């Protein structure tokens, strides 16, 4: 019987692979990624993973509405997000010092490619319908971004599923990317029921 962790691992790997393929085409450079690390992290420990609650971070947020509701976010410290923008825009690392229009669009595409594939994958394996919202890019303190996740969960959130991978360029530049997945309680129940059938 496949565990929930194995299921998330499989979907995350497929989603990130699709994202990396799209990004490779976008920047004209072959990218690779490390196997995603999946963890179920207590909500209170989440800020420490991104440098602390007052650390400035960039989040690319998507929400799935419908029978398999949930939230998905690409989250990175601002410095790492700017390094990713440099990579996506084929600039030397350190070129972009602020998150501006083109940079926001590039990060939105990263989050959208990965998040939409992941969330739609959850719906497909359960045979249930979902609609994924367009990506929203946020620049704020980690605590403020986390508050948005909690506010939209619909019930008390105790744990966040974290997905971590490293994106590697052809020049061996290495950028860590973290994703948060917070399924609504109804989605958790549906996934658990599917695994026991």
Q: CATH number of the domain that 20 lies in?
A: 3.40.1550.10
Q: What is the largest CA-CA distance in the chain?
A: 52
Calculate mean pLDDT across residues 17-46: 82
Residue 139 pLDDT: 92
Residue 58 pLDDT: 92
Number of domains present in the structure of the chain: 1
Q: Is the pLDDT of residue 171 over 80?
A: no
pLDDT band at 157 (very low <50, low <70, confident <90, very high): low
Residue pLDDT, tens place only, 53-99? 888 999 999 988 887 888 888 888 899 899 888 888 878 888 889 98
- Asked whether 72 and 113 are in contact (CB, 8 A), the reply is no
Residue 124 pLDDT: 77
The pLDDT mean for the chain works out to 82
> Angle, nearest 10°, between helix axes 185-196 and 101-126?
40
Question: How far apart are alpha carbons 28 and 70 in whole angstroms?
Answer: 33
Q: Is the pLDDT of residue 1 over 50?
A: no
Calculate mean pLDDT across residues 27-35: 83
Any residues with CB less than 8 A from the CB of 146 and at least 6 apart, and which? 43, 46, 47, 53
The domain containing residue 171 runs over which residues?
4-196
Calculate mean pLDDT across residues 16-23: 78
Q: Is the pLDDT of residue 185 over 70?
A: yes
Lowest mean pLDDT, pick from 37-41, 119-123, 189-193: 189-193
Predicted TM-score (pTM) of this structure: 0.82
Distances from the Cα of 34 to the Cα of 14, 26, 161, angstroms: 12, 20, 18
Residue 70 pLDDT: 86
């Amino acid at each position: 019987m496949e565990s929930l962790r194995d299921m998330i691992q499989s979907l995350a790997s497929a989603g990130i692979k699709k994202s990396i393929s799209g990004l490779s085409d976008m920047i004209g450079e072959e990218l690779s990624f490390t196997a995603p690390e999946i963890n179920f992290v207590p909500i209170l420990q989440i800020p420490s993973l991104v440098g602390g609650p007052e650390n400035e971070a960039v989040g690319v947020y998507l929400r799935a509405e419908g029978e398999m509701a949930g939230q998905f976010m690409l989250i990175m410290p601002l410095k790492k997000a700017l390094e990713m923008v440099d990579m996506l825009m084929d600039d030397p690392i350190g070129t972009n010092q602020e998150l501006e229009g083109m940079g926001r669009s590039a990060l939105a595409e990263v989050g959208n490619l990965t998040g939409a594939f992941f969330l739609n994958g959850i719906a497909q394996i359960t045979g249930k319908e979902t609609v994924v919202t367009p990506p929203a890019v946020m620049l704020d303190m980690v605590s403020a971004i986390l508050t948005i996740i909690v506010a939209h969960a619909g019930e008390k959130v105790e744990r966040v599923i974290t997905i971590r991978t490293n994106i590697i360029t052809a020049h061996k530049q290495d950028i860590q990317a973290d994703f948060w997945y917070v399924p609504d309680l109804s989605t958790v129940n549906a996934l658990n029921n599917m695994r026991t059938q």
